[in-house]
Amino acid sequence: MRAASRFTAQSPCKRQLTWSKKFLADTMLLALEIASSLCNIGFVVGMINQRIWAWPMGLMGCLAAAVMFESSQLHAEAFLNVLYAALAIYGWVTWQGNNQAMMVVHRAQRKVWWGLAAIIMTLALGWAMKTQTSNPLPFVDAGIFSLSVIATLWQIGKRLDNWHLWIVINAISVWLCINRGLYVYAGYSAVLFAMSFSGLRSWRSVHEAQSD
**129-148 tens-digit pLDDT:** 889 888 788 898 899 989 99
pLDDT in tens, 168-199: 999 998 998 888 777 777 888 899 999 999 99
Looking at residue 114, what is its pLDDT? Answer: 94
**Rounded (10°) angle between helices 138-156 and 75-97:** 10
pLDDT in tens, 84-132: 999 999 999 999 877 655 568 888 888 899 999 999 999 999 999 889 8
32 and 67 Cβ atoms separated by less than 8 Å: yes
**% of the chain exceeding 90 in pLDDT:** 47
Q: Is the pLDDT of residue 209 over 70?
A: yes
d(CA 51, CA 60): 16
Is the pLDDT at 14 greater than 60, yes or no?
no
Is the pTM higher than 0.95? The answer reads no
Give the confidence band of 79 by pLDDT, cuts at 50, 70, 90.
Answer: confident
CB 199 within 8 A of CB 155: no
Cβ atoms within 10 Å of 38's Cβ, excluding its own: 15
Given this model, what pLDDT does residue 7 score? Answer: 42
Q: Does pLDDT of 43 surpass 80?
A: yes
Q: Categorize the per-residue pLDDT at 6 as very low, low, confident or very high, splitting at 50, 70 and 90.
A: very low
Check residue 2 and give its pLDDT. Answer: 44
